[in-house]
């Protein structure tokens, strides 16, 4: 069989990255080899995101650019996948002519069959139906050679319906994989040399909700921690309303669980949190932060914040700033509110102007930069355990690893250290990374 070439461009979150990897595994079975050059490809897939308007614009501009390759190669197959494909369905075909395939987040497992059909008949295909079982969830992605870190999806979808968010509409209801499937996958990854796993889900804290045998997230973490060869466990994302005391205690009781939690707060104003349908108050959030810090003083805490949600007054915004001052996050991903079709927030009054959103975001980011820098400076002279991932981007002589708290450290060392756990003393804290000196292995 002649080799055919596949090029995939991925936008959006880690789940989309994982989905793209699974697509590549499925297509390898029908003879497609993944390449990094789109010019060479026989099949191009764009795996899209729809979380904010900007993500949509990026996906369409990339589609437009790649469609030009069809002028030179009419046999080229172009597919539009992921959350934006799920949202728009056939509308993609009317917006951009000559797209061969549009498929959504529950149809990944059908990819080989859809591509074979297109090769036979050159017809246009659209598949965006939802199913009660996501068949692609159990596709094993072998880690690339030398890879130490892997992502493992433990669930799909979301039932939370935060007022601003499209994810529940595009990924369907929450569904957890069985502990057996997850543990099998991690054991296999460990045999391939993986040392660190990050468990993925929109709301990992509620893992197991729809499983029959009463599995929950804490029991899953404990079982994973018994797997030989896995040194570090991480997870993302946690929803504050479902963060139990039992899970908080794992940070001090399960040695392999890394001391980092990403806990999106979204806003520091109770009236905005209510409009957002987040299911917790600022007081409850602060209590959870206190518990996390008293159970595990070294824990690093990161968050997501949206500015300019409909109805957000200057006072509400100031409450977010006050909360950030109280908590001092290690880092924050912050966004301007972006209106999404079909969400509850679309119907809310009190839209905030673009200029106001931009101003609030700028101020908030400046404050967070100050906190991040202060936190990183506080780490100077401390000893940190790193898992060495590879060469540093900054210098040939340097290696790079991550602390258990998820911070990047560059230090002098050779490639023989890749895959090893080493201890470094932090000599300098910068805004985006730390500098260290190796003290032992
Ligand atoms: N499931 C995760 C993350 C979902 S998306 C969670 O619940 O935390 C990642 C982040 O994008 C969200 O935390 C939120 O801060 C942001 N986001 C989602 N929808 C948005 C919108 N319409 N406009 C701006 N930011 C949004
Ligand atoms: Fe979106 Fe909320 Fe679900 Fe996160 S928890 S994916 S923000 S609806
Ligand atoms: Fe985007 Fe879908 Fe992820 S909307 S953030 S790719 S779940």
Query: Where exactly does CATH 3.30.750.200 map onto the chain?
Result: 271-378
Instruction: With H, G, I as helix, E, B as strand and everything else as coil, classify residue 361.
Output: helix
Query: Where exactly does CATH 3.40.50.12160 map onto the chain?
Result: 4-127
Ligand 2 centroid distance, CA of 245 (Å): 21
pLDDT tens digits, one per residue of 340-349: 999 999 999 9
pLDDT at 93 (0 to 100): 94
> Rounded to whole angstroms, how far apart are CA atoms 53 and 171?
17
Quick one: what percent of the chain has pLDDT higher than 90? 93
pLDDT tens digits, one per residue of 117-174: 999 998 899 999 998 888 888 999 999 888 899 999 999 999 999 999 999 999 999 9
Assign domain 271-378 one CATH number from 3.30.750.200, 3.20.20.70, 3.40.228.10, 3.10.129.10.
3.30.750.200
Ligand 1 centroid distance, CA of 438 (Å): 38
For the Cβ of 167 lying below 6 angstroms from any atom of ligand 3, the answer is: yes
CATH number of the domain at 383-440, please?
Answer: 2.40.50.140
Across 251-407, where does the E strand assignment appear?
A: 260-262, 300-307, 331-336, 383-391, 398-403
27, 50, 108, 134, 170 from 340: Cα distances, Å: 32, 9, 24, 25, 12
Across 52-117, where does the E strand assignment appear?
A: 77-81, 101-103
pLDDT tens digits, one per residue of 177-191: 999 999 999 999 999
For the Cβ of 15 lying below 6 angstroms from any atom of ligand 2, the answer is: no
Query: Where exactly does CATH 2.40.50.140 map onto the chain?
Result: 383-440
pLDDT at 440 (0 to 100): 81
Residue 1: pLDDT band with limits 50, 70, 90? low
Q: Is the Cβ–Cβ distance between 412 and 400 less than 8 Å?
A: no
Mean pLDDT of 98-107: 96
Mean pLDDT of 329-341: 98
Which residues, at least 6 apart from 355, have a Cβ–Cβ distance to it below 8 Å? none
pLDDT at 213 (0 to 100): 78
Looking at the CA of 159, name the nearest ligand.
2
Ligand 2 centroid distance, CA of 173 (Å): 11
Q: Is the Cβ–Cβ distance between 112 and 81 less than 8 Å?
A: no
pLDDT at 212 (0 to 100): 83
Smallest CA separation from ligand 1 atom 5, residue? 51
Question: Would strands 383-391 and 421-429 be described as parallel, antiparallel, or unpaired?
Answer: antiparallel
CATH number of the domain at 4-127, please?
Answer: 3.40.50.12160
Phi then psi for residue 32, to 5 deg, are: -95, 130
DSSP state of 414: -
Query: Where exactly does CATH 3.30.750.210 map onto the chain?
Result: 140-258
pLDDT tens digits, one per residue of 230-287: 999 999 999 999 999 999 999 999 999 999 999 999 999 999 999 999 999 999 999 9
Closest atom of ligand 2 relative to the 266 alpha carbon = 7
Ligand 3 centroid distance, CA of 402 (Å): 25
pLDDT tens digits, one per residue of 347-372: 999 999 999 999 999 999 999 999 99
Alpha-carbon dihedral sign for residues 423, 426, 430, 431:
positive
CATH number of the domain at 140-258, please?
Answer: 3.30.750.210
């Amino acid at each position: 069989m002649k080799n055919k070439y596949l090029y995939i461009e991925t936008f959006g979150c880690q789940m989309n990255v994982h989905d793209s990897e699974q697509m590549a595994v499925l297509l390898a079975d029908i003879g497609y080899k993944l390449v990094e050059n789109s010019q060479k490809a026989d099949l191009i897939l764009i795996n899209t995101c729809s979380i904010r308007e900007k993500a949509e614009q990026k996906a369409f501009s990339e589609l437009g650019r790649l469609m030009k390759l069809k002028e030179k190669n009419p046999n080229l197959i172009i597919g539009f996948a992921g959350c934006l494909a799920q949202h728009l369905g056939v509308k993609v075909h009317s917006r951009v002519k000559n797209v061969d395939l549009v498929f959504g987040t529950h149809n990944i497992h059908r990819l080989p069959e859809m591509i074979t059909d297109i090769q036979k008949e050159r017809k246009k295909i659209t598949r965006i139906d939802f199913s009660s079982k996501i068949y692609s969830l159990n596709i094993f992605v072998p880690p690339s050679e030398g890879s130490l870190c892997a992502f493992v999806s433990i669930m799909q979808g979301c039932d939370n319906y935060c007022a601003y968010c499209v994810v529940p509409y595009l990924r369907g209801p929450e569904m957890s994989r069985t502990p057996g499937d997850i543990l099998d996958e991690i054991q296999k990854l460990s045999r391939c040399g993986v040392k660190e796993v990050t468990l993925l889900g929109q709301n990992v804290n509620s893992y197991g909700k729809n499983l029959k045998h009463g599995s929950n997230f804490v029991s899953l973490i404990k079982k994973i921690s018994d797997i030989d060869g896995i040194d570090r466990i991480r997870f993302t994302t946690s929803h504050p309303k479902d963060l139990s005391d039992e899970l908080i205690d794992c940070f001090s009781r399960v040695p392999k669980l890394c001391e980092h939690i990403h806990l999106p707060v979204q806003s520091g104003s109770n009236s905005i949190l209510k409009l957002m349908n987040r299911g917790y108050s600022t007081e409850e959030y602060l209590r959870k932060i206190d518990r996390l810090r008293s159970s595990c003083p070294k824990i690093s805490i990161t968050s997501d914040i949206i500015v300019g949600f409909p109805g957000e007054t200057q006072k509400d915004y100031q409450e977010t700033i006050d909360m950030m001052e109280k908590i001092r996050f290690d880092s924050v991903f912050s966004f301007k509110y972006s209106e999404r079709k079909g969400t509850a927030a679309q119907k809310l009054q009190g839209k905030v102007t673009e200029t106001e959103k931009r101003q609030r975001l700028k101020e908030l980011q400046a404050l967070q930069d100050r906190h991040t820098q202060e936190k990183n400076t506080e780490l100077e002279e401390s000893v940190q355990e790193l898992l060495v991932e590879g060469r540093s981007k900054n210098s040939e002589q340097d290696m790079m690893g991550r602390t258990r708290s998820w911070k990047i450290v560059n230090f002098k060392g050779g490639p023989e250290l890749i895959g090893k756990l080493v201890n470094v003393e932090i000599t300098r804290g910068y805004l985006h990374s730390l500098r260290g000196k190796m003290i032992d292995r």
